[in-house]
Amino acid sequence: MAQHKFEKEKLITIFDEIIGHTLGEIDVNNVFDKTLTNPKITGIAGDVIEQSVLGYPADNKQEADLLVDGIATELKTTGLKHTRNKKHTFEAKEPMSVTAVSPNKIILESFYNSTLWHKLENMLLVYYLYDSDHTVPASEYAKFPIQGYQFHKFSDEDISILKNDWHIVRDFIEDVQKNNKNINTEYPKISKLREQMLYLDTAPKYPNPPRFRLKRHVVNTIAQEHLGKDFQLLKAGNTFSSYKELDTILNAFTKKHKGKSIKQLASELDLDIKKNKDGKVSKSIAEKILTSVFGVKSEKLRNIDTFSKIGTIPKTLTITKTGGRTEDTKFDTIDFSEWLNENISFEKSTLYDFFANQTLLFSIFQEAYNGSPLEENIFLGFKRINFDDDFIEKNVKPVWDNVRDLVWNKQFKVSPVYNKKTGDVIINKSGVIKEKTNFPKSKDYIVFLKGTGSDATVKPLNLNGYQIYPQQFWIKGSFLVDALDKIDFI
């Protein structure tokens, strides 16, 4: 049983009083003193909550921390950060470590009596704002304010997903042990199971003792819901607890609607077709069609609770009558504060997190004829791409290493673009000289960097003394076409 007993009303009073105060201000027991001799210590925010706010020492027991009105409750202190370019919205700083994956213990457990579920069933989440655009030593956490707290319980739909994820790991370990497989070759594969799991992953990689974690997107959605963001819930009949069940829903839609034009689908599904200023149909209609598969009339898949938690990114791919398509695909804007910090490894970066823990779900359409307008394109079905460890190691990490090397060693450069025929500098429509960086390009890399901006005179990012556009990472279109060609329709 949990050791530290509290009444819920007392905890509410305690945490209400510290909201808005910094970790340093509430550290009445001088927990931060240990950062003077250990500046890289981890978990200092949680230590302050445990030792200075609730007044008990830290422990590493595999049981819930608190007994709240007789209910075992796990205390988790987790960081939020400002959403990029949106100072008044927040996102989770990182995944949430929950408990150890203990091979000899997990095979004797069922989900509802597992160490994992005992930690997740009832949670008290305390949020602090990581109010810095760069990584800071542990001592500087003292300036970060408490943002809020919540008593959290997962929904029945969430529990079904967590149970399925847990069984993926548990059943894998059981298979290794029952069949006397070599644990030194098999256990390292535990980290690859994340490709099958929706809410959970494990880290670090074997032989280091792995731990179950809630993926960052799960933590992010829980926190944003608490802070007031509305997510739409899937209704009965459209919920799922595994990729297999998700595929069943997508496949049923494809069987019913394959071969129909976007215009036909919009009419049958009662969807509005919006047009841009130039009179063309907005590309958002493709994502509306996707959300309608799940009985939700939302323009954004990420506004649906479950999809927000599993980190599914919807993409539309339109192929020609001959199957061609070469347009590169843009993704997230890069946070260079991570790339510049020597204390952040590739495996702890948001770049790694993107490729390791997100899925690209493609709605595939085909032109009705060469150059046909969007609304006439024909629906073919859905395909999904996950990025495995080999892809990340071969195609993502080299980009991380290359960019860090360029910036750290002052080799990053911005230079004018010249007309190949005349040799003259190219001038943009706004009268500004067209420029290029020496970041990884699509001709050499599958994953590469490219800056975008609506005004050539506004380049807000300062890097090594150069003013440049915000940089995004992209995936080469020809690679996506080849990869999708090898994948069957869902």
SS (H, E, C) the chain: CCCEEECHHHHHHHHHHHCCCECCCCCCCCHHHHHHCCCCCCCHHHHHHHHHHCCCCCCCCCCCCEEECCEEEEEEEEEEEEECCEEEEEEECCCEEEEECCHHHHCCCCHHHCHHHHHHCCEEEEEEECCCCCCCCHHHHHHCEEEEEEEECCCHHHHHHHHHHHHHHHHHHHHHHHCCCCHHHHHHHHHHHHHCCCCEEEECCCCCCCEEEECHHHHHHHHHHHCCCCCECCCCCCCCCCHHHHHHHHHHHHHHHCCCEHHHHHHHCCCCCCECCCCCECCHHHHHHHHHCCCCCCCCHHHEHHHHHHCEEEEEEEECCCCCCCCCEEEEECCHHHHCCCCCCHHHCHHHHHHHHCEEEEEEEECCCCCCCHHHCEEEEEEEECCCHHHHHHHHHHHHHHHHHHHHCCCCCEEECECCCCCCECECCCCCECEEECCCCCCCCCEEEEECCCCCCCCCEEECCEEECCEEEEECHHHHHHHHHCCCCC
CATH of residue 34's domain is 3.40.600.10
- 356 part of a folded domain: no
Distance of alpha carbon 3 from alpha carbon 63, whole angstroms: 9
Q: Could you tell me which of 403, 400, 407 has the C-alpha nearest to residue 464? A: 407
Structure tokens, 337: 């504060």
pTM of this prediction exceeds 0.75: yes
* Residues spanned by the domain of 192: 4-226
Distance of alpha carbon 371 from alpha carbon 461, whole angstroms: 37
Query: What pLDDT does 326 receive?
Result: 60
Query: What pLDDT does 266 receive?
Result: 92
CA distances 203 to 168, 217, 311, Å, are 15, 16, 18
Q: What are phi and psi of 51, to 5 degrees?
A: -90, -35
- 324 part of a folded domain: no
- 310 part of a folded domain: no
- 286 part of a folded domain: no
Cα–Cα–Cα angle for 19, 23, 24, nearest 5°?
130
Query: What pLDDT does 104 receive?
Result: 94
Query: What pLDDT does 349 receive?
Result: 86
Query: What pLDDT does 22 receive?
Result: 97
- 35 part of a folded domain: yes
Query: What pLDDT does 134 receive?
Result: 74
- 99 part of a folded domain: yes
Cα–Cα–Cα angle for 191, 166, 95, nearest 5°?
60
- 214 part of a folded domain: yes
- 70 part of a folded domain: yes
For the chain, the domain total comes to 1
Listing from the earlier edge strand, what are the strands of the sheet with 471-475? 329-333, 471-475, 447-451
Distance of alpha carbon 62 from alpha carbon 78, whole angstroms: 19
Distance of alpha carbon 88 from alpha carbon 93, whole angstroms: 15
Per-residue pLDDT of the chain (490 residues; tens, 9 = 90+): 457 999 999 999 999 999 999 999 999 999 999 999 888 888 999 999 999 999 988 776 777 889 999 999 999 999 999 886 665 689 999 899 999 999 999 999 999 999 999 999 999 999 999 998 777 889 999 999 999 999 999 999 999 999 999 999 999 999 999 999 999 999 999 998 998 999 999 988 888 899 999 999 999 999 999 999 999 999 888 999 999 999 999 999 999 999 999 999 999 999 888 887 777 888 889 999 999 999 887 778 999 999 999 999 998 888 887 766 667 888 888 888 888 877 788 988 889 988 988 889 999 999 998 888 889 999 999 999 989 889 999 999 999 999 999 999 999 998 888 888 887 887 877 777 888 899 999 999 999 999 887 776 778 888 888 888 889 999 998 888 888 889 999 9
Taking the CA atoms of the chain, what radius of gyration do you get in angstroms?
Answer: 25
